[in-house]
A and B are shown apart, each in its own frame.
Chain A
Amino acid sequence: MSSLRVQVEGIGAWSPTVADFDAFRRLLEDDAVAAPSARPPASALSPNERRRAPESVLVAIEVASQAVAMSGRAADTLACVFASAYGDQATTDYMCRVLASAPTELSPTRFHNSVHNAPAGYWTIATNCRAPSSAICAGHASFGAGLLEAAAQACADDRAALLVCSDTAGMGPLGELIGCRHPFGAALVLSPCKDAGVPGLLLAPVTDAPSHAPLPAVCATWMHDNPSAASLPLLAMLARGGGECVLAVSDRLGLHVEMEIVA
């Protein structure tokens, strides 16, 4: 099977105890996590939009902003892929409760926040980005499938692409069933890597099961509690400057990710 070669130009990460990729790097080095912060700043949004946006959107916007800032690229030039296994579960819980009791009282704002492409919509509006935007999911394999989609877009269309993968904690009966307990988001700015002298990521579909180098115990908890934390093995490779892993792309397909080392 063919492989894709991309360069990672920017990285974003957010959870209540990891404010950004630097904090995650420190976590890998000495296992220290910072004190929790309640909400992601998501400062790319206007104050009005920030007030209207649900937490799922704030997490996605926060990590997107971090990755784009690190890349030094203009946000409005980037194609973007927003991945999330479950979308906004708190909004789904609200919608289903209201629909079961007083459906005509459904809030129009909560309804438009319920669409899976709400983060993509808020992001493109906030950054005045008219480039193609997408919203995808693939269950527990949403990060791997999103990585393949964003890398394919970068390589096929010869342009930089932003990948965001985020999920938030569930609520109510739906939350009880799904078991997503903590918010977590990660983002990458990817570009096609055509220069042999620049270390890139090599991505190749494989039938192997997901596997990765050991991570701190807290990472295993996050990966258990949030499908978007499936990005952590790759974030750890990026922090450590090398390595390889297999990420799930579907129930049956994996994506072998190998980080080239600078010669």
Chain B
Amino acid sequence: MRVTTLPLAVTAYTATSALGLGLGAHLDALEQQRSGLRANDFGDNPLACWIGRVAGLESAAFPDRYAQWDCRNNRLAWLGLNQDAFASKVEAAQRRYGPARLALLLGTSTASIGATEEGYRRLEDDVRLPADLHRTAIHTPHSLTAFVASALDIDGPCLTISTACSSSAKVFAGAERLIRLGMVDAAVVGGVDSLCDSVLYGFNALELVSPEPCRPFDAGRRGISIGEAAGFALLERIGPDTEHAPRVLGCGESSDAHHMSTPDPEGVGAELALRDVLERTGLDVAHIDYINLHGTASQKNDAMEAALVARRFPTSTRVSSTKGLTGHTLGAAGIVESVITLLAMRERFVPGNAGMATADPACSSHFAWRNEARPIRIALSHSFGFGGSNACLAFAHAVAGIDA
């Protein structure tokens, strides 16, 4: 049976990444096509690669009352929550709906595992985590969501989704289901992932880390550049108070059933997620003005995704990856790229595919290599994760204000 997804208003959104703190910094970097990547300076003996690091995170203020949660990932979460007045907009929504009527769904791939890594570097008697890190709150994959639930005072359902790089795209699907079923009236969705050795050395072991700044869809691309980011969005039903907000129309989901760490080269799973979102929203590919691609700069993802675009979309659909600017922020990629898509929609431009010098011949004329001024009414954001977990989000400009 075909299921129609409930379109929701995105009444607040924000992102913090290597591009800076909040929407203004992101818009500025997108307009200038200024990459936030820098030579890896994370840790004592950094791998020779490039990273998207949030500057000043170590020294950023973190309230004493949250001391049990203190770690790099939760600091990044706190910094992100405090941009663009996001936390106060959530507070206002809680006053409107009641505290138990708001859900919290956050994506992360590694949560605060960086703190566990640090503990193992400083073990007491080689068997015990050091006293300052002997805190159960941070050595669990739910650390992020439990902290944010506490910081935002959420009484409703709280869920961590950890499906690698699709995590913070899939949160939109879970939130929509809870709102459509009447279990809650609104939801905070988002994701946070921070730099840690597990992902730097883990992707290095898989030979997926580029020694130079990543070049999505370049013929000579050499792999990913890992970044860190926090992003959040507030989702509410569309009504008189929210009709001017942009909308999330739906989220398509699928599994590859192919391999743990490489995408299906035929893109069958990715295309199923795309088909799912089109069916749920009643959209046709001809309606899609822009796609923010997953575009990691890995050989296999970009080949699969370029073929999918060429196979399924008319050339009126413009596409680009923005990971050349932010790096691949893993579990936060879904929300960061959703925010970038919403910004592009608001500011009426297609962000260029940063980092490309020589286009992969597989790339069709859909690719926007540079910024293009044009209105975007409807856009997609692709997120394809490890373990074959795929998500495809559809966003729309609020009907009011569309003149295209």
Interface residues of chain A, those whose CB is within 8 Å of chain B, are 1-2, 4, 76, 85-87, 92, 95-97, 99-100, 103-104, 106-108, 111-118, 120-122, 124-125, 127-139, 142, 145, 148-149, 152-153, 155-158, 172-174, 176-178, 205, 207, 249-253
- Flag whether B67 is at the interface (Cβ < 8 A): no
Q: Which of A103, A155, A207 contacts B181 (CB 8 A)?
A: A155
B113 A132 Cβ-Cβ under 8 A: no
B3 A157 Cβ-Cβ under 8 A: yes
A111 touching B205 in the complex, CB below 8 Å, given contacts A96-B120, A253-B157: yes
Residues of A with C-beta under 8 A to B128: 173, 176
**Complex CA distance for A142 and B52, rounded to whole angstroms:** 32
Residues of B with C-beta under 8 A to A149: 159, 174
A124 B3 Cβ-Cβ under 8 A: no
Told that A112-B260, A116-B162, A156-B3 touch, could you supply 15 new A-B pairs with CB distance under 8 A? A86-B140, A87-B162, A100-B121, A116-B163, A117-B386, A121-B389, A134-B163, A137-B162, A142-B142, A152-B183, A156-B177, A205-B183, A207-B155, A251-B149, A253-B157
Minimum C-beta distance from A138 to chain B (A): 6
Q: Which of A108, A114, A138, A156 contacts B198 (CB 8 A)?
A: A114
Minimum C-beta distance from A64 to chain B (A): 14
Residues of A with C-beta under 8 A to B265: none
Of listed A124, A142, A153, residue having the most chain B CB within 10 A: A124
Minimum C-beta distance from B273 to chain A (A): 8
* 23 A-B interface contacts by CB (under 8 A): A76-B257, A87-B162, A99-B197, A100-B121, A100-B123, A103-B45, A112-B206, A115-B162, A124-B387, A127-B257, A128-B257, A130-B255, A130-B256, A130-B269, A134-B174, A135-B389, A136-B159, A136-B160, A155-B181, A158-B3, A173-B128, A174-B119, A176-B127
Interface residues of chain B, those whose CB is within 8 Å of chain A, are 1, 3, 45, 47, 100, 109, 113, 116-117, 119-121, 123, 127-129, 134, 136, 139-142, 145-146, 149, 154-164, 170, 173-174, 176-178, 180-183, 197-198, 201-207, 253-261, 268-269, 272, 276, 385-389
Please give me the residue from chain A that is nearest to B2 by CB atom. Answer: A158
A117 B163 Cβ-Cβ under 8 A: yes
Residues of B with C-beta under 8 A to A127: 257
Please give me the residue from chain A that is nearest to B251 by CB atom. Answer: A132
B120 A100 Cβ-Cβ under 8 A: yes
Minimum C-beta distance from B162 to chain A (A): 4
B259 A125 Cβ-Cβ under 8 A: yes
Residues of B with C-beta under 8 A to A4: 181, 183
Residues of B with C-beta under 8 A to A158: 1, 3
